């Protein structure tokens, strides 16, 4: 009798263990595929569904919004490339890393350490196939021979080390050498020539270029590969995560073939329309896969439009890439970091909905963790808030973000809470007016703090810092606390990578 009981106990234990082992597989069948497309330097006003006066036609992105949810108050964590990408991948504000201003170059070493959790590593641990195809711009470690890169040797600290099963792309922006594709840690070809383009729109810096790296074909190439990936992975039981950070419409602005001149505005507008057309092909591939209903597609931009898009020409023809907002890429003003943001997920998101809730691109990490059934540790996604409540209800009170910190190319800070925005700098903090590089005399006449009520003054024209000193102190105290706590989510206090004092935190010196 005792022997039978022991055998029964072992059998019961085996069945329990088997059920635990099988549950993730069963769960993964219900988890959505996730595709995150990040445009580069695309302004809020460049997608026609966000700009009733826009002159650039974007029918496929408009349809994506019509089939899903558009966010009118979405922000990147920075108004330039590298920092925003850091925030998307890690769910952490970029300035908590050692990069306090500016961007990385094409030869820069990896910014994200391999032991930091990412969206990709979180999803991979929950059974996802994970892929990066596109512009990385977060650094990786080329093998060096002296001071020169040895392109025949493996590349280390790549996206593969941060949770991506498959990784294909280039290191910096498309105007930053070397112009070489790297696939899973290896250069796909050795650069054999030097190229350069001095055209105002098509500009790229002089640098080594591989024979399979054709600037005009980089954007089409990334779309082709992404579509192929979608087709292949849709035949598998495991869900997939595809991160597609585009190099466009950032310089070099390279509309090709039938897209040249199609907008009637300028080459930048042509390039935006070309990107929209390729988005149409990608969306068609998702539909053809038969997995459209349970595929989450997010489309957004890494910051506002760049001056290289030629605002003067566009505005003369009635188009403003920044919509009604002040500033552009690089700036602390809304035009620098407020971006188009669209989410489509037919199984969860009601078509044709709009959310006016303030979100940040750092929120992707916590959203994916929720989808994956993962609880983030205290040192993961420190500035990321789960967006799932908004997907189900566009004005949900269950979404926990209460304040958002903005960052300019110079490393200047602003904080937004409700209708109020406090900027801890005079001028744009970037290339807009007043420009710290060119308008030093003007800046001397301006207060070092700016306070705006965005509900009444979306164009940030009237600085209210003198009229509402108590609001200045409230927001400054909140900004200081959120910087020093190493997190903005609930949890144990964390450390910023380089401590709690650096040049742009000038107001802390005044205490």
What CA–CA distance (Å, rounded) separates 219 from 257?
A: 13
Q: Predicted confidence band at 509 (pLDDT cuts at 50, 70, 90)?
A: confident
pTM score: 0.94
Number of H helices, E strands in the chain: 12, 20
pLDDT reading at 344 higher than 50 = yes
Q: What is the CA radius of gyration of the chain?
A: 23
- Residues 6+ away with beta carbon under 8 Å from 255: 262, 267, 270, 271, 273, 274
**Is the per-residue pLDDT at 457 higher than 50?**
yes
Q: Of 10-19, 133-142, 485-494, which range is least confident?
A: 10-19
Helix (H, G, I), strand (E, B) or coil at 257: helix
For residue 363, give both structure tokens. 């929120």
Q: Which of 135, 125, 124, 127 is nearest to 164 (CA)?
A: 124
How far is residue 83's CA from residue 361's CA, in Å, rounded to a whole number?
11
Q: Bin 386: left if φ > 0, else alpha if -120 < ψ < 50, else beta.
A: beta
Phi, psi of 231 (to 5 degrees): -65, -40
Of 137, 73, 151, 119, give the one whose Cα is nearest residue 341.
73
Closest CA to 348 of 409, 284, 406, 295: 295
pLDDT, residue 244, reads 99
Q: Are strands 186-187 and 182-183 parallel, antiparallel or unpaired?
A: antiparallel
pLDDT at 15 > cutoff 90: no
Q: Which two tokens stand for residue 238?
A: 């495991």
Q: Residue 494's closest CA among 412, 384, 414?
A: 384
* Residue in 25, 34, 372 with CA at minimum distance from that of residue 230: 34
DSSP-derived 3-state class of residue 349 = coil
Coil, helix or strand at residue 301: strand
Residue 37: pLDDT band (50, 70, 90) is very high
Q: Which helix (H) or strand (E) holds 474?
A: helix 469-484
pLDDT of residue 500: 86
Alpha helices in 349-448 (DSSP H): 364-372, 388-392, 440-444
The pLDDT value given to residue 20: 41
Mean pLDDT of 123-133: 98
DSSP string across 147-170 = TEE-TTSPPBS-GGGGT-SEEEEE
SS3 label, residue 444: helix
How far, in Å, CA of 392 to CA of 314, rounded?
37
Average pLDDT over residues 198-217: 97
The pLDDT tens digits for 411-447 are: 999 999 999 999 999 999 999 999 999 999 999 999 9
Report CA 6 to chain centroid distance, whole Å. 56
Query: Tokens 């419409």 label which residue?
Result: 249
Instruction: Give the full edge-to-edge strand order of the sheet including 341-344.
Output: 186-187, 182-183, 166-170, 129-135, 240-245, 33-39, 295-301, 341-344, 69-71, 353-355
Give the span between the Cα atoms of 450 and 199, in whole angstroms: 37
> How many residues in total does the chain contain?
511
Helix, strand, coil fractions of the chain, as percent rounded to 5: 35, 15, 50
* 267 vs 457: CA distance, rounded Å: 32
pLDDT at 9: 47
CA 84/CA 302 separation, integer angstroms: 6
Q: Above 90 in pLDDT, residue 495?
A: yes
- At residue 389, φ and ψ (nearest 5 deg) are -60, -35
First-to-final CA distance of the chain: 78
Question: What share of the chain in percent tops pLDDT 90?
Answer: 92
State how far the alpha carbon of 183 is from the alpha carbons of 39, 89, 171, in Å.
Answer: 21, 19, 11
Torsion angle of the four alpha carbons 73, 74, 80, 83, in this order, in degrees rounded to the nearest 10: 140
CA distance 278 to 224: 9
Which tens digits make up the pLDDT trace of 43-81? Answer: 999 999 999 999 999 999 999 999 999 999 999 999 999
Confidence of residue 510 (pLDDT cuts 50, 70, 90): low
3 contact partners, CB below 8 Å, separation of at least 6: none
The mean pLDDT of 399-405, rounded to a whole number, is: 97
């Amino acid at each position: 009798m005792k022997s039978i009981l022991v055998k029964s106990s072992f059998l019961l234990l085996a069945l329990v263990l088997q059920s635990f082992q099988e549950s993730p597989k069963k769960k993964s069948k219900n988890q959505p595929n996730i595709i995150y497309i990040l445009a580069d330097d695309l302004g809020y006003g460049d997608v026609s569904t966000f700009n009733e006066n826009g002159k650039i036609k974007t029918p496929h992105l408009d349809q994506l919004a019509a089939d899903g949810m558009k966010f009118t108050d979405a922000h990147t964590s920075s108004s330039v490339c590298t920092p925003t990408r850091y925030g998307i991948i890690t769910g952490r504000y970029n300035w908590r890393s050692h990069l306090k201003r500016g961007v990385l170059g094409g030869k820069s070493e990896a910014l994200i350490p391999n032991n930091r959790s990412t969206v990709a590593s979180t999803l991979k641990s929950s059974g996802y196939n994970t892929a990066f195809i596109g512009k990385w711009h977060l650094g990786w470690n080329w093998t060096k021979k002296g001071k020169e890169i040895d392109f025949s040797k493996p590349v280390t600290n790549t996206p593969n080390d941060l949770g991506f099963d498959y990784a294909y792309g280039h290191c910096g922006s498309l105007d930053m050498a070397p112009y070489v594709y790297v696939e899973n840690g290896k250069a796909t070809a050795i650069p054999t020539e030097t190229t350069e383009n001095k055209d105002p729109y098509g500009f790229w810096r002089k640098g080594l270029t591989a024979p399979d790296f054709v600037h005009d074909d980089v954007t089409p190439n990334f779309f082709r590969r992404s579509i192929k990936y979608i087709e292949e992975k849709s035949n598998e039981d495991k869900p997939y995560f595809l991160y597609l950070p585009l190099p466009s419409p950032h310089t070099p602005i390279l509309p090709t073939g039938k897209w040249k001149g199609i907008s009637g505005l300028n080459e930048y507008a042509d390039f935006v329309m070309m990107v929209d057309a390729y988005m149409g092909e990608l969306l068609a591939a998702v539909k053809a896969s038969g997995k459209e209903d349970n595929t989450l597609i997010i489309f957004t931009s890494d910051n506002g439009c760049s001056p290289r898009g030629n605002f003067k020409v566009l505005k003369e023809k009635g188009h403003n890439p920044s919509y009604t907002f002040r500033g552009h890429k690089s700036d602390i003003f809304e035009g620098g970091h407020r971006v188009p943001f669209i989410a489509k997920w037919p199984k969860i998101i009601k078509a044709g909905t709009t959310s006016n809730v303030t979100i940040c691109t750092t929120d992707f990490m916590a959203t994916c963790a929720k989808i994956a059934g993962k609880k983030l540790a205290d040192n993961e996604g420190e500035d990321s808030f789960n967006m799932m409540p908004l997907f189900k209800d566009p004005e949900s009170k269950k979404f926990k973000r209460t304040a958002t910190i903005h960052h300019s190319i110079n490393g200047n800070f602003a904080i937004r809470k409700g209708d109020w925005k406090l900027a801890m700098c005079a001028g744009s903090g970037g290339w807009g007016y007043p420009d710290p590089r060119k308008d030093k005399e003007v800046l001397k006449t301006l207060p070092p703090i700016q306070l705006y009520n965005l509900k009444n003054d979306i164009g940030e024209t009237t600085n209210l810092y003198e009229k509402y000193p108590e609001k200045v102190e409230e927001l400054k105290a909140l900004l200081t606390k959120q910087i020093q706590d190493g997190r903005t989510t609930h949890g144990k206090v964390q450390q910023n990578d380089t401590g709690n004092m650096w040049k742009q935190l000038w107001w802390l010196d005044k205490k």
